[in-house]
A and B are shown apart, each in its own frame.
Chain A
Amino acid sequence: MEGLEHSLALVEVFNRIFGPPLAAVLALLGVRVKDPAHLVPDHIVMCLVVMVLLILVLGLASRRLSLVPGRRQTVLEILYESLENLLTDIIGESGKKYLPMIGTVGLFILCSNLLGLVPGFMSPTSKINVTLGCAVTVFVYYHWQGIKAQGLWKYLGHFAGPIPLLAPLMFPIEVISHFSRPLSLSVRLFGNIFAEELLIVVIASILPFLLPLPFMAVAIFTGAIQAFVFVLLSCIYISGAVAHEEEHAE
Chain B
Amino acid sequence: MFKNGKPVVVTLFLLFILAGPLAAQEAGQLSPAKASLYKIAMIVGGAVIALAAAAGAYCQAKAISAGCEGISRNPGSAPHIRFLLLLGLVLIETLVIYSLLISIFILVINWGKYV
By a beta-carbon cutoff of 8 Å, the part of chain A in contact with chain B is: 1, 184, 187-188, 190-192, 194-195, 198, 205-210, 225-226, 229, 232
Q: How far is the CB of A201 from chain B (nearest CB, A)?
A: 12
B48 in contact (CB, < 8 A): no
- Which residues on the A side are within 8 Å of B98 (C-beta)? 187, 191
Count of A-B residue pairs with CB < 8 Å: 42
Contacts A209-B17, A225-B90 hold; do A195 and B100 have CB atoms under 8 A apart? yes
Query: Contact between A229 and B87 (Cβ–Cβ < 8 Å)?
Result: yes
Chain B residues with CB under 8 Å of A192's CB are 97
Residues of A within 8 A of B101 (CB): 187, 190-191, 194-195
- Chain B residues within an 8 Å CB radius of A210: 17
Asked if A188 meets B94 with Cβ closer than 8 Å, knowing A207-B20, A229-B87, the reply is yes
- B7 CB-CB contact with A under 8 Å: no
In the complex, A192 Cα to B13 Cα: how many Å?
A: 32
- In the bound complex, what is the Cα–Cα distance between A134 and B90 (angstroms)? 18
State A129–B104 Cα separation when bound (angstroms): 18
Asked if B108 and A206 sit within 8 Å, CB to CB, the answer is no
A209 to B19, CA, bound (A): 11
Name which residue of chain A comes closest to B97, CB basis. A191
Give Cα A183–Cα B13 distance, bound, in whole angstroms: 45
Tell me which of A188, A207, A232 contacts B97 (CB under 8 A).
A188
Inter-subunit contact A207/B21 (CB<8 Å): yes
Q: Are B20 and A229 in contact (CB under 8 A)?
A: no
Contact A232 B17 (CB under 8 A): no
The 3 closest A-B pairs by CB, nearest first: A191-B97, A208-B20, A229-B90
Cβ of B87 and Cβ of A232 under 8 Å apart?
Answer: yes
Residue contact B94 to A195, C-beta cutoff 8 Å: no
* Whole-angstrom CA separation of A226 from B97 in the bound complex: 12
A198 neighbours in B (Cβ, 8 Å): 104
- Sample of 26 A–B contacts (CB below 8 Å): A187-B94, A187-B98, A187-B101, A188-B90, A188-B94, A188-B97, A191-B98, A192-B97, A195-B100, A195-B101, A205-B20, A206-B21, A207-B17, A207-B20, A207-B21, A208-B16, A208-B17, A209-B13, A209-B17, A210-B17, A225-B90, A226-B90, A229-B86, A229-B87, A229-B90, A232-B87
Contact at B108–A1, with CB atoms within 8 Å?
yes
Residues of A within 8 Å of B94, CB to CB, are 184, 187-188, 191
Q: Beta-carbon contacts of B12-42 to A below 8 Å, as 1s and 0s?
A: 0100110011000000000000000000000
Contacts of B21 in A (CB 8 A): 206-207
